[in-house]
Structure 1
Amino acid sequence: MAGRAGLTAKQAAAAHLRLPPLPSTRDLVKLYKLRAVKQLSQNFLMDHKLTSKIVRSSGRVRDCHVCEVGPGPGGITRSILEQGAAQLTVIEKDPRFLPTLEMLKDASKGKLDIELGDVLSFNMEKIFSSDLRQPWDGHLPKIHLIGNLPFNVATPLIIRWLKDISLKHNAWVNGRVCMTLTFQLEVAQRMVAPPGHVQRCRLSIMCQNWCHVVHKFTIPGRAFVPKPDVDVGIVHFIPRIEPQIPLDFGLVEKVIRCIFSFRQKYCKRGAGLLFPESQRDELVEKMFTVADVNPTLRPFQLALSEFNRLCHTYAAILEQQPSLEKFNSRERKIIKDDVDYDSDGNEI
């Protein structure tokens, strides 16, 4: 009897999570004549097995508050609700998707909220209850960020969010909120690339410094509508309790950006962009000597521990010569008020 009762309870729980019968995402796209806008790098994922796999790869979402960025017609949205999220907030920029999202909202029994806005400037702090907050060095909060973002947004967004993580702003006032996002496969490979790997780049260091990064799986481009020219990588981020380079985001970003400016040359070549020509040779030599880093290694050969020593040494040099902080090399304008990145992780 106990086994039968237990099974009945499971069935009741499953029934509670199940959405009312709805047209498939593919049918809704046809019904509302929704087309992906090429200029916005939109690609729809309408395979229910794949959207469910993305949600599962983010961890357990049941009884958690989820924020989905860029839901589009709602394929992943549906899978999040089906897997038992306590509350789901979606942030969508394109109002054409409101009818399909409103349909899911009506079926969600009050669990879905829709925010129309640009995720690049959206402050997620206001959508999560303060009851969900956890100490930074404590358990992960019951909050997830999930998104199948347009390629032209995904990389600039993760850079901005890494800065928010470093400051514990935005969603991260609530603790170490995890992210599960889609990227072009090559970008996903760059994010997880180890020292010496052909894909190792500035983006690798930035992501790995502030987060534990895992490339969960790959979705072939043919699964999307319209089919992109590349495959897609699903990447999971868990913010670190302490970054491996525990310094100001801007300083770390500046040093990494300069050193990777000449990826195939000795790393001392890019480091020279940090200093005026009159002091360049002297300070570059000092920087690498004090940091105990071989200046004739290529940037992609350096480990995070070596970047850590270089950043700390540069910070010490700035303490002695504060004017260098705003130095703008004539060879390359390396200091900008706001640095943006394209879909390949390159500065624009």
Structure 2
Amino acid sequence: MQEAVAGRIVSDPLMDQRGRLSIIFQNWFDCRVKHVFSGRAFVPAANVNVAVIQLIPLKRPLVEVSYDLLDKVTRVAFHTRNKKMETTMAALFQEETRDDDTRELLHRAHLKSDTMCLTLATEEFGQLAQIYGDIISRPRPIHEQLDQKINRNELTFELGETYVRPEKIKTKKKSKKDWDE
């Protein structure tokens, strides 16, 4: 693969190349660059250097976490890699609970709000993903349940009220017999 991609996969915290690939690969593999070839070694010559990396599956991942959760947390974290974690991680949560959930996430992970994602180890990202999974999966009090059940023509709110759009109410046409009754 391209040397730059290999560099991203094997990079350590505090390295500029650190990113999602680093975290994802390093959680499940022991990653090592075995050899780098000059692009001129190929016919036709490549414009970039090429690296051979060795990926050895770990018997156990560094952190037991689902790929989807780790992917989501790292995607959000590295989308704005030069911002503070408090700002970045807030994007994981619904607006109504964002501040509280973000503070809880960082507190439980023992991270300061001004921490930058480039400084975190793979294990810390795994821990963030686990805690995030806990936060989003727990039952919420009824006043926090903001998801509305949407039928095509009506909204049913959690408190039981139903709003039906008046223009969508179907009425049965009355026949002459109905009018006479």
1:276 to 77, 94, 101: 94
1:194 to 9, 12, 15: 12
Q: Structure with the greater relative contact order (CA < 8 A, sep ≥ 6): 1 or 2?
A: 2
Q: C-alpha separation between the residues in 2 aligned to 1:225 and 1:298?
A: 42
Q: C-alpha separation between the residues in 2 aligned to 1:237 and 1:192?
A: 10
**What are the residue-to-residue correspondences of 1:124-163 with 2, within 5 Å?**
none
What's 1:242 paired with? Answer: 60
**What are the residue-to-residue correspondences of 1:46-57 with 2, within 5 Å?**
none
Structural RMSD (CA) = 1.6
Structure-2 change in CA distance of 1:233 and 1:286 (3 Å): same
Q: Deviations over 1:105-160 (max 9, x none)?
A: xxxxxxxxxxxxxxxxxxxxxxxxxxxxxxxxxxxxxxxxxxxxxxxxxxxxxxxx
Q: C-alpha separation between the residues in 1 aligned to 2:139 and 2:26?
A: 29
| 1:216 positional shift | 0.7
- 3-state SS, counterpart of residue 238 of structure 1: strand
Q: C-alpha separation between the residues in 1 aligned to 2:31 and 2:66?
A: 20
- 3-state SS, counterpart of residue 34 of structure 2: strand
Q: C-alpha separation between the residues in 2 aligned to 1:207 and 1:187?
A: 12
Q: C-alpha separation between the residues in 2 aligned to 1:214 and 1:295?
A: 32
Q: C-alpha separation between the residues in 1 aligned to 2:93 and 2:80?
A: 15
What's 2:3 paired with? Answer: 185
| 1:321 positional shift | 4.5
Q: C-alpha separation between the residues in 2 aligned to 1:284 and 1:270?
A: 9
What's 2:24 paired with? Answer: 206
The unaligned stretches of length 5 or more in structure 1 are 1-182, 328-348
* Contact 1:260–1:267 (CA under 8 A) maintained in structure 2: no
| 1:308 positional shift | 2.2
What's 1:313 paired with? Answer: 131
Larger of the two Rg values belongs to structure: 2
* Contact 2:27–2:123 (CA under 8 A) maintained in structure 1: no
* Contact 1:260–1:299 (CA under 8 A) maintained in structure 2: yes
Structure-2 change in CA distance of 1:201 and 1:321 (3 Å): farther
1:223 to 41, 66, 71: 41
What's 2:73 paired with? Answer: 255
TM-score (norm 2): 0.73
Structure-2 change in CA distance of 1:321 and 1:216 (3 Å): farther
Note if 1:293 corresponds to 2:115. no
* Contact 1:191–1:207 (CA under 8 A) maintained in structure 2: yes
- 3-state SS, counterpart of residue 225 of structure 1: coil
* Contact 1:207–1:213 (CA under 8 A) maintained in structure 2: yes
**What are the residue-to-residue correspondences of 1:39-118 with 2, within 5 Å?**
none
Task: Report sequence identity in percent.
Answer: 33
Amino acid paired to 1:234: V
The unaligned stretches of length 5 or more in structure 2 are 141-146, 148-181
